[in-house]
Amino acid sequence: MLLNKLREYFGTDVFSRKCYITSKFMNKTFYITTPIFYPNAKLHMGHAYVLTLSDILARYHRLVEDDTYFLSGADENTGKVLKNIKSGNQNVTEYLDELSENFQSLYKNLNISIDQFIRTSDKEKHWPGAIAFWNKLVEAGDVYKSKYQGLYCVECETFYTEKDLVEGKCPIHLVVPEKIEEENYFFKLSKYTQIIKENIESDELKIVPATRKNEILALLDRGLEDISFSRPIKTVPHGIPVPGDPEQVIYVWCDALVNYISALGWPKSQGDTLGSLDPKGVTLGLFEKFWPANVHVIGKDILRFHAAIWPAMLLSAGLPLPKSILVHGFITSGGHKMSKSLGNVIDPQDLINEYGVEAVRYYLARHISPFEDGDLTPESFKESYNAHLANGLGNLASRILTMADKYGMSTVDIIEPKDLLSKYEYLDNFDINGYMEHVWTLIKMADKKIQDEEPYKKYKTDPHNTMKIVSELCAHLYEIAIWLKPVMPETSKIIIDCLYNPKIKKPEKPLFARKD
């Protein structure tokens, strides 16, 4: 069979053949990052979303054999930590270690396939990068000392101007910010307004979706002001000291944002111990291999940090800009921000416990837009689970595999799936909802074929034709399983394992048991 020949040649996945060829000749790399999270006691649905979205993209790029690197981490040098541990007698390091373990358990339970988890408290991996970056900006003449007066929201770790506030309060946390006056180092952000604008307008630095591109361009049109770049050490005693000034610590920008390159070993040069071989046999460090990032995935609240401040810092340091920034919206529940007082907080771990990780990944991929706000309620989740996983995919897989099992069909009866190589463009354009709609269209088509042709009724009278129909259905199911790989890797594997036995077998238990 053609399919088997292809498999012999390209390995078990025909899915990868296009990219096998592309990557063989183009040697593409793909570097994707999530924001680094503040050390919250628990990661919430928003974190689960950005992680799942990024994971789907990373898995897709690995499938098509791009040399992929997926980074996430924790933003730990923050004053918030002190507030949280004041009550106990734990020290900062112990507290952060504990939180970081909590983080990593959600990563594991969500099946997030990161290559590295960077922590900004890591003095070996992260601090040398942050300090070297600071020195680069000083060398460029872009750092100066000045008096700072500002309105500071501890929750966002951000200074606001009067005009940013809503009724005198922080627009995100709705708390009155503290008035702060201190002597700080400043970064000449204003100097870079025009060049960043040009890069964004020309899509050299592509901001997706276009609405966010326009938002940041409008901000750039109003002009950028220089920003405070350090804080007195007493505010974050465990922070990174400013080189040459032990009274000050490096403020979030030159600390947190630098994670995207410190994790790659910057500023170490070529041939460091993290190295791998490029096509010419030269040893490359991770930085040389993967920077600039292909995409930083972020939420809409940190657009300015990533699309204005970070590019300005990179330009000042003489480093290339990331290629794109994907800006997703916020997850609400019943149309409202999730909050304890509204009682509408949904814990991703609870959903995983009740429905399984694959169902959570499914919902986030299919029903939450990567470009706008999306909604999730316990009711909407259950409804979609029953309709599209229990009755949809699960039922279809079980019907097809049960027939093939019963009729004693073997793997070689599967005909080559058609249209295997199209539809990547959805994922290339980050349109995960569109991609999922495509998969569910295939599921509906297969359901209709069973309904129209009723093979289960015909086996006794016309076994030859029935087997042909079931073969086609198996090929259809194989195609669905392949498409599902980046989004629902375990379900995809179960289906493919059932199909690729000497004899096709039905799954041991229902893929998605109905919930009442």
Is 96 near ligand MSP (CB under 6 A)? no
184 forms bridges with which residues in the sheet?
Answer: 146
- Is 498 labeled as catalytic in the residue annotation? no
Q: Which stretch binds ligand MSP (CB under 6 A): 164-172, 211-219, 256-264, 414-422?
A: 256-264
Judge contact between 510 and 399, C-beta under 8 A: no
Whole-angstrom distance, CA of residue 483 vs CA of residue 507: 19
The single residue of 19, 61, 126, 156 carrying the catalytic annotation is: 156
Binding mask 344-383 for ligand MSP (x = CB under 6 A): ----------------------------------------
Q: Which stretch binds ligand MSP (CB under 6 A): 96-104, 135-143, 243-251, 254-262?
A: 254-262
Judge contact between 294 and 324, C-beta under 8 A: yes
Task: Please give the C-alpha separations between residue 507 and each of 128, 255, 395, 397, 494, in angstroms, as whole numbers.
Answer: 51, 49, 11, 8, 7
The single residue of 61, 136, 170, 268 carrying the catalytic annotation is: 170
- Left, alpha or beta for 97 (phi > 0: left; psi -120 to 50: alpha)? alpha
Is 31 near ligand MSP (CB under 6 A)? no
Is 212 near ligand MSP (CB under 6 A)? no
Q: Toward ligand MSP, which CB reaches closer, 315 or 325?
A: 325
The single residue of 169, 206, 300, 337 carrying the catalytic annotation is: 337
- Is 44 labeled as catalytic in the residue annotation? yes
Question: Quick one: which of 301, 347, 354, 375 contacts ligand MSP (CB under 6 A)?
Answer: 301
- Is 336 labeled as catalytic in the residue annotation? no
Is 430 near ligand MSP (CB under 6 A)? no
Is 47 near ligand MSP (CB under 6 A)? yes
For residue 467, count other CB atoms closer than 10 A to its CB: 18
Judge contact between 82 and 505, C-beta under 8 A: no
Is 159 near ligand MSP (CB under 6 A)? no
Question: Quick one: which of 37, 70, 160, 478 contacts ligand MSP (CB under 6 A)?
Answer: 37
List the helix and strand counts (H, then E) for the chain: 22, 18
Is 17 near ligand MSP (CB under 6 A)? no
Q: Which residue is nearest to ligand MSP (CB)?
A: 299
- Is 47 labeled as catalytic in the residue annotation? yes
Q: Toward ligand MSP, which CB reaches closer, 51 or 397?
A: 51
Burial class (CB in 10 A: 0-12, 13-18, 19+), 97: middle
- Is 505 labeled as catalytic in the residue annotation? no
- Is 156 labeled as catalytic in the residue annotation? yes
Q: Toward ligand MSP, which CB reaches closer, 330 or 424?
A: 330
Backbone angles phi, psi at 503, to 5 degrees: -125, 135
Q: In what order do the strands lie in the sheet with 241-242?
A: 230-232, 245-250, 241-242
Dihedral (Cα; 297, 303, 309, 312), 10-degree rounding: 70
For residue 442, count other CB atoms closer than 10 A to its CB: 19
| Least distance (Å) between residue 335 CB and ligand MSP | 13
- Is 328 labeled as catalytic in the residue annotation? no
Q: Which stretch binds ligand MSP (CB under 6 A): 35-43, 98-106, 283-291, 446-454?
A: 35-43
Q: Return the structure tokens found at 496.
A: 């493919």
Report the interhelical angle of 92-109 vs 348-355 (nearest 10°).
40
Whole-angstrom distance, CA of residue 279 vs CA of residue 401: 44
How many alpha carbons lie under 13 Å from residue 278 in its C-beta half-sphere? 15
The single residue of 5, 24, 108, 173 carrying the catalytic annotation is: 173
Judge contact between 377 and 478, C-beta under 8 A: no
Task: Please give the C-alpha separations between residue 276 and each of 268, 368, 402, 488, in angstroms, as whole numbers.
Answer: 14, 37, 47, 30
Among 94, 102, 93, residue whose Cα is nearest residue 47: 102
Is 255 near ligand MSP (CB under 6 A)? no
- Is 170 labeled as catalytic in the residue annotation? yes
Q: Return the structure tokens found at 417.
A: 């799936």
For residue 12, count other CB atoms closer than 10 A to its CB: 10
Is 38 near ligand MSP (CB under 6 A)? yes
| Least distance (Å) between residue 39 CB and ligand MSP | 8
Whole-angstrom distance, CA of residue 148 vs CA of residue 228: 7
Is 240 near ligand MSP (CB under 6 A)? no
The single residue of 61, 126, 136, 153 carrying the catalytic annotation is: 153
Question: Quick one: which of 55, 75, 142, 472 contacts ligand MSP (CB under 6 A)?
Answer: 75
Question: Quick one: which of 110, 112, 295, 302 contacts ligand MSP (CB under 6 A)?
Answer: 302
Q: Toward ligand MSP, which CB reaches closer, 14 or 331?
A: 331
| Least distance (Å) between residue 118 CB and ligand MSP | 10
Is 480 near ligand MSP (CB under 6 A)? no
The footprint of ligand MSP (CB under 6 A) covers 35-38, 46-47, 49-50, 75, 256-257, 259, 298-299, 301-302, 330-331
Active site residues: 44, 47, 153, 156, 170, 173, 337, 340
